[in-house]
Structure 1
Amino acid sequence: MSVLKCWTGAAFAVLALAGGVHADMTVSQSNDPTAAIGVGITDLLGQEKNALGLVSSARMQALVTPPALKKKAGKAGAAISYDDAWLAAQPAAKGGEQFQCLAQALYFEARGEGIVGQAAVGEVILNRVESATFPSTICGVVNQSNGRGCQFSYTCDGRADRIHEPAAWSEAGKIARALMDGAPRSLTDGATYFHTPAVKPAWSRRFERTARIGRHIFYRAPIKSAMN
């Protein structure tokens, strides 16, 4: 009899503990803050569904259609043909000191290279202006010199820089003006150096060749990456 009582008491104890555990689990679930949030979200979604039902299909289409993106003008615009027709369509060019420096560089350094060849040399000058390695103005780039000579030979050859060919000067001016006004620089692929095939300077072996236009070969500094 005492054994039965002990077994019965143990059974009641187990049941009591199970009930206690269940009660604790119930309380824990009902106090979960995410449960209340879930109920709130359900209510909000229901309200939103009812509100959307009042919006016409045309208005809904207008709301979900993204606005058209506007294309920005920049240096990556349509390539220029740099032919006689393009040159003839350009207005007479004029400008201040920086324009004069660029036009003179094209005239004295590259007028025998035609329209494309002059534009290519102009690209080099403007690419240098934007490079931290060179002066920050066109005149500074054109007139830069060092202990070994000038960057552009006509600036220190001892000759007077006089314009003897008005038609060629007009051509150089139009090309210079177009480049300064934002013509895309797509001829030399970022070149900052050039030389003629008659010479092979030592520095050319350290640079990346980008183009050959007329009697000029163009180069840019090698692109450095994190792995270099």
Structure 2
Amino acid sequence: MRVLTAAIAALLSLSMPAHAELKFEGAARLIEQERRGLEAAAPGHLSKLATPVKQRGAKKVRYDKDWLASQPAPTGGKQWQCLAEALYFEARGETVKGQFAVAEVILNRVDSPRFPNTVCGVVNQGTGKKFACQFTYTCDGRAETIHEPAAYDRVGRVARAMLDGAPRSLTDGATHYHTTQVAPRWARVFHKTATIGVHKFYRQDYRVSKN
């Protein structure tokens, strides 16, 4: 932003009278203040606009248990933990492919300006508000306890692979999903992108579904 502002100032100074340069400097200060305000309000989303998106697909993945078992024991910080727990409570009974698909939705939301810009922010959005949470396990009144360590290890490997750059090619940019046992109202207007296991996936762009 500063480089762009300086370049504009240099060009305009060629044709501006001296008093106009003072007005431009004032405008430049306003632009810089606006940039700082945007960065403070939404630093993650602003950086997404300024930084090229990381190339997807750098990590080769096979959606089967043998490939998953061959991966290193999963470790990570808070964002990895939030993703692993979401997969455990939302999709531990799904196939490996289904677990990767749910992880795609969460990371697609992180990339969308419509949602929080961190994994933990996405997973916990609306938590504590009746009928407002985005992931049911965060507001169903039950303690979030891991009772199946083997299942948690598997989803932890899925979470690690996704955060390390595994491709998101299963759900065509989906930002929503639901089980085949329910039919939420939003599913009537969102674009259905895939059905994997017991989940149907949707993209929030209001396109007419062909499925």
Judge same fold: TM > 0.5, yes or no: yes
Structure 1 segment 37-186 matched on structure 2, within 5 A:
74-77=55-58, 80-145=61-126, 148-186=131-169
Shift of 1:177: 0.3
Cα deviation code 1:170-197 (max 9, x no counterpart): 0010000000000001111100000111
Cα deviation 1:97-132 (Å, max 9, x = unaligned) = 111000000001100012111111000000000000
Deviation, structure 1 residue 88? 1.4
1:77 shift after superposition = 4.9
Query: For residues 79 and 217 of structure 1, what CA distance do their matches in structure 2 show?
Result: 24
Residue 222 of structure 1: CA displacement?
2.1
Gaps of 5+ in 1: 1-72
- RMSD over aligned Cα, in angstroms? 1.7
Aligned mates of 2:56, 2:186 — CA distance in 1: 29
**Residue of 164, 181, 184 corresponding to 1:201:** 184
- Provide the secondary structure at the position in 1 that maps to 2:156: helix
Identity percentage of aligned residues: 61
* Greater mean alpha carbon deviation, residues 140-149 or residues 156-165: 140-149
Instruction: Please list the CA deviations of residues 142-166 of structure 1 after superposition, one character each: whole Å capped at 9, or x if unmatched.
Output: 0011663211011111111111111
> 2:189–2:206: 8 Å Cα contact kept in structure 1?
no
Q: Confirm or deny that 1:216 pairs with 2:199.
A: yes
Larger Rg: 1
Question: How many matched pairs?
Answer: 152
Higher helix share: 1
SS for the counterpart of 2:201 is strand
What letter is aligned with 2:186?
Answer: W
1:79/1:213 CA distance change after superposition, 3 Å: farther
Any runs of at least 4 consecutive aligned residues in structure 1 with deviations exceeding 3 A, and if so which?
A: 76-79
Using a 3 Å threshold, how does the CA distance of structure 1 residues 194 and 175 change in structure 2: closer, same or farther? same
Question: SS where residue 167 of structure 2 aligns?
Answer: coil
Equivalent in the alignment of 2:173: 190
Distance in 1, matches of 2:119 and 2:84, equals 10
Is the 8 Å Cα contact of residues 107 and 169 (structure 1) preserved in structure 2? yes
| Cα separation, partners in 2 of 1:78 and 1:93, compared to 1, 3 Å | closer
Q: In the superposition, relative to structure 1, how do residues 79 and 222 fare at CA in structure 2: closer, same or farther (>3 Å)? A: farther
Greater shift, 179-188 or 195-204, is seen at: 195-204
Contact 2:83–2:159 (8 Å) recurs in 1: yes
Is the contact between residue 79 and residue 186 of structure 1 (CA under 8 Å) also seen in structure 2? no
Unaligned runs of 5+ in 2: 1-53
